[in-house]
Amino acid sequence: MPHLGRLNDDGSLLKVEALEKHVTLPGPFWAKKARRRTLDSVSFSIFQGELIGLAGVSGAGKTTLLNLMLGLDRADAGHVICEGQLIRPGSARALRWYRRAVQYIPQDPASSLDPRMTVKALIREPLKRLKIKADHAARIDEALEQVGLSPEFLSRRPDELSGGQAQRVAIARAIVVRPKLLLADEPLSGLDLPMQAHITDVLKRLNHEAGIGLLLISHDLSVVCRLCQRTIILDRGAIIEDRPTPELFDAPGHERTIALIDAAAGHRSSAVNAQPFPFT
């Protein structure tokens, strides 16, 4: 499948269109298995350079949606479309163009980094896997600088990194291919507040300087508030809110949104006053 480098029919980079997904529930082998809907006609578009938060409680369907957007699973109905092409599970070769355009930042980078490899080899790996013909050394140095790590880290291995350093290496692995969009799964989870602030600044700078868009998946709306221009709330597999972040925090339209805001900040008005929105 060629990478055509064009936008979708609505001008977006990535479009999620009426996605539905069901799971089969466990039960006795002699009985007909019940099915539960985990995604219910989910639709939204991501435009180039957008910073979007996707929030919801555990079990809302965030992971299911992410797997479909990454081309790791097949929907029961609906489509994911990037640059005019349908995204569905396929061979590494067939999805190579998509991996160049859309990259993933995992929730737990330490477990996804091969402990036998150096940081240099880890960052270079996507360039080799995606067969990107470029000056790999220059790309690696550029990515390392963008995430705020010095060249001395290139010879280190994952067990020599702190949690924040490992997360920055994971981001460097994603941006070294110069993608248009990052899908980040709880990238600040498990980090202390100063390191959360630092990673947030890294992601903002990548957006501002390189134009890289972001879909930030999180259960914590305080994180979304600090980083995202627009917020989508997913509840029981359905989108219940999709609005500019300041507007959503100022006047949430659903009781589930109010509960998420209160859980993150104690009171939604104080959350708004405490957090700037530099990209709105």
* 3-state per-residue secondary structure call for the chain: CCCCCCCCCCCCCEEEEEEEEEEECCCCCCCCCCEEEEEEEEEEEECCCCEEEEECCCCCCHHHHHHHHCCCCCCCEEEEEECCEECCCCCCCCCHHHHHHEEEECCCHHHHCCCCCCHHHHHHHHHHHCCCCCCHHHHHHHHHHHCCCCHHHHHCCHHHCCHHHHHHHHHHHHHCCCCCEEEEECCCCCCCHHHHHHHHHHHHHHHHHHCCEEEEEECCHHHHHHHCCEEEEEECCEEEEEEEHHHHHHCCCCHHHHHHHHHHHCCHHHHHHHCCCCCC
State in words which class domain 14-274 has.
alpha beta
The pLDDT score that the predictor gives to residue 2 is 42
Strand-by-strand arrangement of the 35-46 sheet: 35-46, 14-24, 77-82, 85-86
The pLDDT score that the predictor gives to residue 239 is 96
Do the Cβ atoms of 62 and 56 come closer than 8 Å? Answer: yes
The pLDDT score that the predictor gives to residue 128 is 95
The pLDDT score that the predictor gives to residue 264 is 81
The pLDDT score that the predictor gives to residue 190 is 79
Strand-by-strand arrangement of the 230-235 sheet: 102-105, 181-185, 213-218, 51-55, 230-235, 238-244
pLDDT (tens, 9 = 90+) of the chain, 280 residues, equals 444 456 677 889 999 999 999 877 676 666 666 677 889 999 999 999 999 999 998 889 999 999 999 999 999 999 999 999 999 998 888 899 999 999 999 888 877 899 999 999 999 999 999 999 999 999 999 999 999 999 999 999 999 999 899 999 999 999 999 999 999 999 888 788 888 898 999 999 999 999 999 999 998 898 898 899 999 999 999 999 999 999 999 999 899 999 998 888 653 344 334 343 332 2
Count CB atoms within 10 A of the CB of residue 179: 21
Residues 6+ apart with CB under 8 A from 237: 21, 37, 38, 39, 40, 42, 60, 61, 64
The pLDDT score that the predictor gives to residue 279 is 28
- Distance between CA atoms of residues 187 and 216, nearest Å: 8
The pLDDT score that the predictor gives to residue 267 is 34
Do the Cβ atoms of 126 and 102 come closer than 8 Å? Answer: no
The pLDDT score that the predictor gives to residue 4 is 46
